[in-house]
Structure 1
Amino acid sequence: MKNLGSLLMIGAALTFACGGPSEQTAESTEIEVEESEWRNLFDGNTFEGWKKYGGGEVGNAWKIENGNLYLDAANKDNWEPGDAGDIVTVDEFENFHFQLEWKIAKDGNSGIIFLVHESEEYSYPWMTGLEMQILDNDGHPDAKIVSHRAGDLYDLIESSEETVKPIGEWNLAEIIVNNGELELHLNGVMVVSTSLWTPEWEEMVASSKFKDMPGFAKYRKGKIALQDHGDEVWFRNIRVKEL
């Protein structure tokens, strides 16, 4: 009995030290709950939940292959009118955490535009929405301009450090908007942090290329757009969590 008691005590100590069943279950439940808060915006097979900016179905220049959504710009000489153009989510988001993975072709340019207000008044998403830049920093001429490089808040704030991967490799981009606070993350690093709609923000916009666009960054709820800049770009694992 003495030996059995000792074994039981050792077993209990090991269970406690290793995080017993109740602790492991609680941790697993927490992970499951966190994952359940995410909503996939791309099912890997269809354009459900997406549309062409300005109206209509996603154009034929956008394609889906192997679970990736991509702009088939390599064949743009064969595009028909209406095939291309920026695409946007059907739904709008206000406070959210958005994620996707992207990769860009050599010398390529694209972007993720958010808080987009879609109306006949604005011809393009960038006339209202803010953009997280997607770029081949080593090949595209825009990379010579401060705040036009991959991960930057386009034409407003340059990244605190450069974390972009070489062309052809996947990058994890994250955009967090919560009660006027904005963060941009690229490959696990927060590269931009700022407060929206403050006097300092308005002053910064007034010094940018958006200064003559009355609708730019005025909408606190909007759609998310993937930009057609005429270059090949790929996206996958697109999801959002509303905050």
Structure 2
Amino acid sequence: MRAAVLGLAMAIAMVGQAASAADNTLTAAEKAAGWRLLFDGRSLEGWRGFKTPEPDAGWTVTDGMLGPDPKTSRDIMTKETFGDFELAFDWKVGPKGNSGVMFRVTEAGTQTYQSGPEYQIVDNARGEPVVEQAGALYGLYAPTTDATRPVGEFNHSRLVLRGGKGEHWLNGVKVAEYDLDSDAFRAKVAATKFRAWPQFAAAKSGHIAIQNHGDPVFFRNIKIRPLD
């Protein structure tokens, strides 16, 4: 009898784990907490191009993963704009691969990164400077540790933004934090290429954008919880 009860409990647990592990879906708890899917695992619904109403044709969905044609695609971004939010997503790159997720992106300038700060995505074996390693606020705040999984495996990232205060999480580890409204942030910007673009990190809301850096990269489980 005890063995049967234990077996039933294990079966229930396995069913629960399977339900929570389904890619590109929301659990009942996530829905109750205000989470929304930005990627449904089947289509590009809800996405557009930078300064174009439709996403570049090079972006496709394969086996529940979103990714660009590295040779032809331009950046993709959400049709909606967001101010304060918690964003979660899974990503993987090929060897020496590079990409990024920008936030509060506007259509000022000629590139998404000229207005939107970037959560850096990269294979750290590429050998980039520490402020350009995975989990960094690209070019400005280095990750406190290398929390990446082996290249080719999916990593789980979270970006939390309230007011000007941001946190970057990578595989359950908080790897960066900053305040976009602080003197320290402005000083860092003034010492980098971003000083050339007055629109950089200036908007209080904007699009979420995914970068095509010319390398294979795949995304899934892209979801957001507005905190406004």
What TM-score do the two structures reach when normalised by structure 1? 0.79
Q: Give 1:34 shift.
A: 4.5
Q: Is the 2:48–2:78 Cα contact (8 Å) retained in structure 1?
A: yes
Give percent identity, aligned residues only.
37
Structure number with greater Rg is 1
Aligned to 2:46: 49
Q: For the residues of structure 1 that align with 2:225 and 2:86, how far apart are their CA atoms?
A: 5
Residue in structure 2 matching 1:70, options 46, 67, 70: 67
Residue in structure 1 matching 2:114, options 127, 131, 135: 127
For the aligned residue pairs, the C-alpha RMSD in angstroms reads 1.4
Moved more, 204-213 or 108-117: 204-213
Matched, 1:58 2:55: yes
Q: Give 1:180 shift.
A: 1.6
Q: For the residues of structure 2 that align with 1:33 and 1:172, how far apart are their CA atoms?
A: 19
Cα deviation per residue 1:161-193 (whole Å; 9 max; x = unaligned)? 110111100001111101221000001111011
Q: For the residues of structure 2 that align with 1:59 and 1:212, how far apart are their CA atoms?
A: 27
Matched, 1:220 2:189: no
Aligned to 2:178: 194
Aligned to 1:96: 85
Q: Match of 2:31, as an amino acid?
A: E
Q: For the residues of structure 2 that align with 1:49 and 1:32, how far apart are their CA atoms?
A: 22
Gaps of 5+ in 1: 1-30
Q: For the residues of structure 2 that align with 1:65 and 1:88, how far apart are their CA atoms?
A: 18
Q: Is the 2:130–2:143 Cα contact (8 Å) retained in structure 1?
A: no
Q: For the residues of structure 2 that align with 1:32 and 1:67, how far apart are their CA atoms?
A: 21
Q: Give 1:228 shift.
A: 0.8
What TM-score do the two structures reach when normalised by structure 2? 0.84
Aligned to 1:110: 99
Gaps of 5+ in 2: 1-26
Aligned to 1:209: 193
Matched, 1:136 2:132: no
Q: For the residues of structure 1 that align with 2:28 and 2:68, how far apart are their CA atoms?
A: 33
Q: Give 1:96 shift.
A: 0.2
Aligned length, in residue pairs = 200
Aligned to 2:224: 240
Residue in structure 2 matching 1:160, options 144, 161, 184: 144
Q: Match of 1:221, as an amino acid?
A: S
